Structure 1
Amino acid sequence: MLLPSGSGRPGTTGDFGSGMGPIKGEMGDDCPAEAKDIVAELYRVSAPRAVQYVPPHKAGVDPGDGPTEQLVSMPREQAARYMALRRDMTASCPQTTVTAVGHEPIAPQTVRFRLVKAELGDEAFIQESTTWDGDGDVAKARPTDGVRAYMAVVRLGGVVVIYGEFPTKEAALAAGTKAAAHTRTALLRTAAG
């Protein structure tokens, strides 16, 4: 159900989510108290997924640095809950400072999220993320700075398509539309037997 990659790198399968909460310093660890239950539930989501690497937008860039298309399979109710959790987390914790990846410390980076509803599949949104070097105070002082990236997140029944990172909202929407149409066709073909 993945789009052909054209990158020369094969898709992979594996797990989506660890089923465990964020480690100290990871994304979402510094969310306000009212968001802690949302963060914890979102981090507990665990499901099988397939990942496809897609060619990058710029010539001469390693294919592994291009966007990825992920298909995550879960029961329909769990997929709908996942989408709701993503929306709730963005509303209650729109900005987080990351100082670790797993147990490895990194230089602080602050990420601010915004979701824009999209008319795709059963439900969808485009996620805008803006990243700054430094802690949250730097980001608040310079709200127009930072690097922006866009990702399409589309639910088709119990399959969630996550496709990004793109340089513009329009590119993410176009890619999400293409991926969702391809996935829907494959789902309908499979259902028809």
Structure 2
Amino acid sequence: MTLTLAPRLETNRLILRSPVKADADAVIAFLMDEVRSDGFGGFDNRPDAWRWFALNVGHWHWHGYGYFIIEDKASGKPAGIAGIWNPEGWPEPEVGWVVFDGFEGKGIAYEAALRVRQWAYEDLGFTTLTSNIVPGNTRSIRLAERMGATYERTYDNPNMGEDMLYRHPGPEALA
């Protein structure tokens, strides 16, 4: 049973879908991995990581968008999360992404983030999006720049501390 009303989006290799209860362990494992979740905001205990999983479900119900589960079509396994994130305290909606252990270096985050951005512009009517990146997260900076996003400013993120805001090109620039 899906936990949100998220649409099912596809790319050549990926399915972006609503979280289901069975996804909790993969997301929680990522969030509790201090090295892998660095730059995303991990947790040192399962209850807090579980609360973040539930927070994402609530985010979908509050906003009508949130993080999709990225499912690898070839294996059927959760490969990461990507979506639009805008909790209380965020400067504006952002395109966010992470991939889980074993799925890095395959272009999955890029492919998922492009599809999420397309959905946000075409289906949700967004006219601008950002990506908020912790300084030193060079992989995410490269991915944002590959998507055409440019550094705009640094700000104080209430959850992450210092964050760099990258602005994505609007839908008119991508047409």
Q: TM-score, normalised by structure 1?
A: 0.27
Q: Which has the higher contact order (CA 8 A, sep 6+)?
A: 1
TM-score by length of 2: 0.29
Structure number having the greater strand percentage: 1
Greater C-alpha Rg: 1
